Amino acid sequence: MPVFSELPRIGGTLVWYCLICKRQVWLISHGVEADKEDEFLKLGRLIDESSYERVRHSVSFGDSKFDLLKEEKGVLVIGEIKKSSRSIEAARLQLAHYLYELAKSGIAARGELLFPEERRREDVSITEDLQSKLDEIYIEIKDIVVSSCPPKVQECKYCKHCAYKELCWS
Ligand code: SF4
C-alpha cells in the first residue's frame, strides 16, 4: 500500500465516492484496482462514449476530468454523464466540485448533469452552500486517505453493482 509523502489531490471521482461509499475512497486512493470487466463499469463507459457526440469528451483540468465540455452563448459548460439519477446528490456535488475548482482558477462556468438513458438533464451552479458542503467533504476525504486501513465493509444499496464487490464480499 502506498505511503503518502503528501496527500493525493482530490478529483471529482473521490468526491463522488465519498458520498457513495467511504470504503471506495480508501480503495481508489490506495491504488486498489476495481474489476475492470465489471458489467456496470463497462455499461458506464459505453454510455459515456456514445452520448452527446457533438461536444468534446473527457477533458482534463488539473486533477479533474470533465465528461463533456462545450461553450454556449460565451459561457463554459461542463457536463457530467451518469447512468441513472439514483445518486443525484453525489453527482451534483461531483459536478459542483469541478465548478468550484474552475472558480478558484478564475474561470466562471455552469454545469449540466446528464442522464441520457432517462432523457433527463439538471443545471448546476456553484453556490455558497455547495462550496461549504464540498469543503467538509474534502476534509473527510483527507481523513479517510491518511488512514492506514480502509473503513469496514458495510452493506449498502451500492454494493450490488460495485466493481469492488468481489473484494469486499468474498
Ligand atoms: S462492495 Fe459495498 S462496501 Fe465494498 S466498496 Fe463497494 S459499495 Fe463499498
pLDDT of residue 58: 74
pLDDT exceeds cutoff 60 at 43: no
Structural domains in the chain, CATH included, are: 12-169 (3.90.320.10)
Question: Are the C-beta atoms of residues 133 and 93 closer than 8 Å to each other?
Answer: yes
Per-residue pLDDT, averaged over 47-71, amounts to: 74
Q: Check residue 61 and give its pLDDT.
A: 81
Angle between helices 88-104 and 12-20 (to 10 degrees): 150
Please give all residues whose beta carbon lies within 6 A of any atom in ligand 1, as ranges. Answer: 21, 23-24, 153-154, 156, 158-159, 162, 164-165, 168
Residue nearest to atom 4 of ligand 1 (CA): 168
